[in-house]
Structure 1
Amino acid sequence: MRRAIAIGLAVALMGAAPQVLAQAAAPAGAQATSESRALTAWLDQQYEQELQMDPEGLTMQGRKDHYDKLTDRSEARADALLAWRRASVAEMKRRFDLAKLDEEARTSFEVWALELDRAETANKWRRHRYIFARGGAHTGLPNFLINFHRVDEPADMAAYIARVRQLDDALDQLLVRAKAAAEGGVRMPRFAYDRSIDEVGRVTGGAPFGPGEDSALLADGKAKIAALLKAGKIDQRQADAFTRELTEAMTAEMKPGYDRLLAWLKADREKTAPEAKGVHALPQGRDYYDAQLFLQTTTDMTADQIHDLGLSEVARLRAEMEAVKAKAGFTGSLEDFFVFMRTDKRFYLPNTDEGRAQYIAMADAYLAGMKKKLPEYFGILPKADLVVKRVEPFREEPGGAQHYFAGTPDGSRPGVFYAHLSDMNAMPTYQLENIAYHEGLPGHHMQISIAQELTGLPKFRTQYDYTAYSEGWGLYSEKLAKEMGFATDPYNDFGRLSGEIWRAIRLVVDTGMHSKGWSQEQAVAYFMANSAQPEAAIRSEIQRYLVNPGQATSYKVGMIRIQAMREEARKALGGKFDIRAFHDVVLGGGALPLPVLEARVRRWVERTKGG
């Protein structure tokens, strides 16, 4: 998980726009500078309008505007936001001449216009989303308050409590949408109901709702109040008052909202089938899945094409695994090696707090080594700090995928590489080096931090994200780390290949379940046959794909496209090719749809040829 994501674009992206960007002659310098500056200033005004409609998005960026508000989650707000974007794009096309813009401004123009197409597509299928599945607001909002609502002054604590009072309203808005989806025949798989019911219980377990230790949210609120007291910004009387207000907000307003959600989840669960099915089983499910593939990959690849790509990549990676197996001195079959890697105790740390601390320390060490090597491969380097942390207990799951949360653009909050450590038996150490490079350096932390730190671009280009770009970069970073001289231990190198084949398997099982009618167990069996991942992690992954159709395909599609761009540039430039310059081109424009990125790289190649 990263910043609030602007996932995908529309069909126009695969048409003329990238070619226009790649081939149109640049306008005269003074004319381009004037028009481009005007567009950048206008886009910044538009993005500010968008942010002002998203209080939580403001907080994620370290700002305190509307600090006592949560973002409106109603369909009426979604309609209003779409109408605003339609008007914004129409005004941009009236006011600015594409032919008068320089290359970077032209990219901004195209991406802003294409965001409308993305919004139109997403809006068409909004009732097909599984609102209370993994990562839903029922856990996302407490996590937001705990990790992103900073309390520096008494007013910030008052805003925190005000937001707690609005949790029930946010859940009620989403409950209206979930009920409407269910009435239309769209229900998430039964296991997702069970998971969400368990998560609601964890969020509302303990004090102040009942006996036991403080719930995660109450503990966080108390810690923030105590920090104000320690800093001398409030006295004990004010601290006690804040604690009473927070407790009352949680019991009188937050808890009833969660109770209403829990009651509906339990009742609606009975209307689901015991066996999970892909979205092909939903009304217009295959059309919905096609739209999701387009939104997630920013390409026009079909489900069949993605499925076939996955099969070929799995075959290629199995051959590379055979070579690493031989290097490790293992004489059995590859399937035997999978079992060995999955079960041998040398690859697992103790399932204790000491083992968890050791896991985090190992991740820190890998990242420290990588950091020293980065200047040899990158010109632009991130300024933001990176920390490795365990996932909070209320949202932790055995075998859950590690993930990254971006820091703030001003550096006041570092980026965080999160690991699920509740079950150390699901977290093999031979995969950790590779995962650290994907989530941290040179992966997500580097890519997202550089984007946030860019200057001279419209701000939206430093904040928007596209899954195929960001996850494609994360997976590209894993292979790059090998090229940089890391993952020298054969077991860790097998971990790298395990990570890549994991993403190739995703192409097969995601399309298999959502387009070809594969069962959940069929997907698990395919995964187990081609990966050394622990079964608990595999089952967690398969469930993730079932509730977030298409997202898992973006990693490998993005990686392959970035690798192809590099190879095309290397062949075209020959001795003029510079890996540092290539990486700066890829990272130096913020997250982009893949066709727009390809056009950007080709323009760089042409400039370098003529230089």
Structure 2
Amino acid sequence: MFKKILKYTGLALLILFVSGAALATHEWYAKKPFFFRAFLDRTLIKIAFDSPETLTSLGFLESVGIKGHNADLDDDRPEKADELFDELEVIHETLLSYEDADLDENQQLSKEIALYLLDFSARAETYRYHNYPVNQLFGVQNGYPSFMEAQHRVETVEDAENYLSRLEKVKLKFEQNLLGLRIREHNGIIPPRFVIDRVLTEMTEFVETPIRDNILYTSLKTKLADAQDIPIKKQAELLGLAEDNIREYVYPAYGLFIDYFAALADKSGNDDGLWRLPNGDEAYQLALNFFTTTDYTADEIHNMGLAEVARIQGEILTILESEGFDIANGFSAAIETLAADPQFYYEDSDAGRAQILIDYQTILDEINAGLDDAFRIRPKAGMEVVRIPEFKEKTAPGAYYQQPAIDGSRPGRFFANLYDIKATPKYGMRTLAYHEAIPGHHFQVAVAMELEGMPFIRKMAPFTAYSEGWALYSERVAWELGFQDDPFDNIGRLQAELFRGVRLVVDTGIHAKRWTREQAIDYMKLNTGMAQSDVISEIERYIVMPGQATSYKVGMMKILALRDKAQSALGDKFNLRDFHDVVLKNGPVPLDILERLVDKYIAQTAQPS
């Protein structure tokens, strides 16, 4: 978890260097650049240039003819992470040397946010191995083929040759990751047995797939066919080389992991919480601190969740009763009756799944056209709905968002999981689309990326309570604006909020209160009415991502509280578009800083005209 945070924080920000704001020679090489923003952006640019995969994902260097990085993969040796931590200490020292008195208000805020992340990184170093970097949701074993399929563009022969190079270099990448896994094993940090079973199944199925049916081969074949000016004969030659590389390098790389996890299985147990690891309680509290950007304890979050579950279930029962449902047997029975009604599901077929994607896009087009009263700022980047790749959808979450490419070559994407048709009831589709896309993640992420004159640490900092809190808040805003006026759509909204309330209970239950995986599954199933497949995927997600699931509800509740505060203080002077400007136009921030920004907006707006 912490390595991922550091990588995301430190690698997202190269664009300034190549987008027309090139730094002067002095500013690039000086220990302390004269311009404060030059220091912030230069620091992260330098880190970014050490990650070829990040450069490919950002997709910006290609527009100026630079493609060499696309032949390489990241250096994943544990020593590389050691070097990063050492580098962060130097960055921290230099950052402190910029006096607040010499910075304007906006620069001071940038400094505060950078220090927040650096201070957390220093605290996190002790727990850098308290995670399972190969698990059923993410890791090099599924991240690599997903990256090659979604991020590596093939428009020329050079691009295809770079693709082939990355197929060859993947075995080294797996060997480097295996070193980190062995360090964790030595430290007593071994995944729960179900995690090992899941990844072994996933990887075994991957290597048993005939090479010409493997996503690494079929993706290249499709990209070559779509490319301009690559002769058919050359395409066939490149595909033959790809087949050889998959056989000689890719499948043996997966074989290393299969052998390792097969041997590790006997050392694994069925205790799932972070509490069972060395210093696990401290590591979990640190995760809660980071993901919620608060000092809430596990007990406080657990009790908050219990209260929210009771409140939201009461609202759902009221609606169900008004629609003629029998609620005498309680929430679980009533919601299961609703979930069992076939009118709310699509046909379990390819045609039914295709229609789901079409209907998601219609929902998004509709709300995008009707937000003028609530939003002044809009992202320029487009938005599209796509299916989660079938090879990983069985264990993937119900949906997720992928940010657009900086250069506009790839729109924002809302990935929908279509594995289990029962996991996509029609009354839940609007809420999910609003959360993942418009006005949720797409508005927040794409708007932040497009902010002008803002250091990139202010655009893409990984404050989950802010970003996920905004997405959950967006579901509520869509309902308030009338986009879920059907009672069943409103139940879908409330179920989604209930789901996040339940997360507070089960995440803390697993990692602090020593709940088993089965206890957590039973609690979530009983209190949400979600499809069993989704419940299992979610609980298993919380086990491998401690604390992350608590950020949604904590963030939403804070944003709503701040909006209520502004409305109460300003009365007729309150404007929803102004409030949303404050939240979105400052980039991701910790919740206490967000409150300070809203307080400033209140004070300025309250002044006499």
Q: TM-score, normalised by structure 1?
A: 0.91
Say yes or no: does 1:458 pair with 2:452.
Answer: no
Q: Quick check: 1:8–1:118 contact (8 Å CA) kept in 2?
A: no
Structure 2 counterpart of 1:60, which letter? S
Match of 2:161 among 155, 158, 162: 158
| Closer, same or farther: CA 487–471 of 1 in aligned 2, 3 Å | same
Higher relative contact order (CA 8 A, sep 6+): 1
Match of 2:301 among 298, 306, 321: 306
Unmatched tracts of structure 2, length 5 or more? 10-31, 62-66
C-alpha separation in 1, matches of 2:123 and 2:251: 35
Identity level (%): 36
Q: Quick check: 1:5–1:466 contact (8 Å CA) kept in 2?
A: no
Residue 403 of structure 1: CA displacement? 0.7
Structure 2 counterpart of 1:392, which letter? P
Residue 8 of structure 1: CA displacement? 11
Structure 2 counterpart of 1:225, which letter? L
Say yes or no: does 1:40 pair with 2:42.
Answer: no
User: What is the 5 A alignment of 1:441-520?
Assistant: 441-520=438-517
Q: Quick check: 2:134–2:199 contact (8 Å CA) kept in 1?
A: yes
C-alpha separation in 2, matches of 1:480 and 1:268: 47
Q: Quick check: 1:8–1:466 contact (8 Å CA) kept in 2?
A: no
C-alpha separation in 2, matches of 1:188 and 1:521: 16
User: What is the 5 A alignment of 1:254-333?
Assistant: 254-273=250-269, 275-333=270-328
C-alpha separation in 2, matches of 1:376 and 1:120: 43
Residue 82 of structure 1: CA displacement? 1.6
C-alpha separation in 1, matches of 2:518 and 2:596: 41
SS of equivalent to 1:525: helix
C-alpha separation in 2, matches of 1:399 and 1:200: 15
User: What is the 5 A alignment of 1:117-516?
Assistant: 117-133=119-135, 134-208=137-211, 214-228=213-227, 231-232=228-229, 234-273=230-269, 275-333=270-328, 334-397=331-394, 400-516=397-513
Following TM superposition, where does structure 1 have runs of at least 4 consecutive aligned residues deviating by more than 6 angstroms? none
SS of equivalent to 1:375: coil
Match of 1:108 in 2: 110
Q: Quick check: 1:205–1:215 contact (8 Å CA) kept in 2?
A: no
| Closer, same or farther: CA 170–8 of 1 in aligned 2, 3 Å | closer
Q: Quick check: 1:6–1:465 contact (8 Å CA) kept in 2?
A: no
Q: Map Cα deviations across residues 461-507 of structure 1 (whole Å, 9 max, x no partner).
A: 22332211111111111111111111111111111110000000000
Q: Quick check: 2:33–2:39 contact (8 Å CA) kept in 1?
A: no
C-alpha separation in 2, matches of 1:102 and 1:364: 43
Residue 412 of structure 1: CA displacement? 0.9
Q: Quick check: 2:321–2:327 contact (8 Å CA) kept in 1?
A: no
| Closer, same or farther: CA 51–172 of 1 in aligned 2, 3 Å | same
SS of equivalent to 1:435: helix
C-alpha separation in 2, matches of 1:122 and 1:528: 33
Match of 2:17 in 1: none
Q: Map Cα deviations across residues 239-259 of structure 1 (whole Å, 9 max, x no partner).
A: 233212212221111111110
Q: TM-score, normalised by structure 2?
A: 0.91
C-alpha separation in 2, matches of 1:560 and 1:391: 30
C-alpha separation in 2, matches of 1:418 and 1:554: 21
Single out whichever of 67-76 and 467-476 deviates more from structure 2: 67-76
Residue 45 of structure 1: CA displacement? 1.4
Root-mean-square deviation over aligned CA pairs = 2.0
| Closer, same or farther: CA 38–424 of 1 in aligned 2, 3 Å | same
Single out whichever of 195-204 and 284-293 deviates more from structure 2: 195-204
Residue 201 of structure 1: CA displacement? 2.4
Match of 2:27 in 1: none
C-alpha separation in 2, matches of 1:595 and 1:367: 32
SS of equivalent to 1:187: coil
Residue 276 of structure 1: CA displacement? 4.1
Say yes or no: does 1:596 pair with 2:593.
Answer: yes
Q: Map Cα deviations across residues 201-226 of structure 1 (whole Å, 9 max, x no partner).
A: 23323232xxxx51111100112222
Q: Map Cα deviations across residues 21-52 of structure 1 (whole Å, 9 max, x no partner).
A: xxxxxxxxxxxxxx999222322212211211
Match of 2:79 in 1: 76
Residue 371 of structure 1: CA displacement? 0.4
Residue 6 of structure 1: CA displacement? 5.5
SS of equivalent to 2:401: strand
Residue 278 of structure 1: CA displacement? 1.0
Match of 1:21 in 2: none
User: What is the 5 A alignment of 1:4-23?
Assistant: 5=5
C-alpha separation in 1, matches of 2:33 and 2:299: 41
Unmatched tracts of structure 1, length 5 or more? 10-34
Match of 2:51 among 50, 54, 65: 54
C-alpha separation in 2, matches of 1:169 and 1:581: 51
C-alpha separation in 1, matches of 2:71 and 2:49: 13
SS of equivalent to 1:304: helix
C-alpha separation in 2, matches of 1:518 and 1:364: 39
Q: Quick check: 2:427–2:488 contact (8 Å CA) kept in 1?
A: yes
Single out whichever of 555-564 and 164-173 deviates more from structure 2: 164-173
Q: Map Cα deviations across residues 244-292 of structure 1 (whole Å, 9 max, x no partner).
A: 221222111111111010111111012112x342111112111111111
C-alpha separation in 2, matches of 1:417 and 1:537: 18
User: What is the 5 A alignment of 1:515-530?
Assistant: 515-530=512-527
Residue 419 of structure 1: CA displacement? 1.1
The alignment of Structure 1 onto Structure 2 pairs a total of residues equal to 575
Q: Quick check: 1:189–1:547 contact (8 Å CA) kept in 2?
A: no
C-alpha separation in 1, matches of 2:246 and 2:506: 41
Match of 1:557 among 530, 554, 558: 554
Residue 542 of structure 1: CA displacement? 0.9
Residue 329 of structure 1: CA displacement? 2.0
C-alpha separation in 2, matches of 1:556 and 1:349: 30
C-alpha separation in 2, matches of 1:83 and 1:528: 45
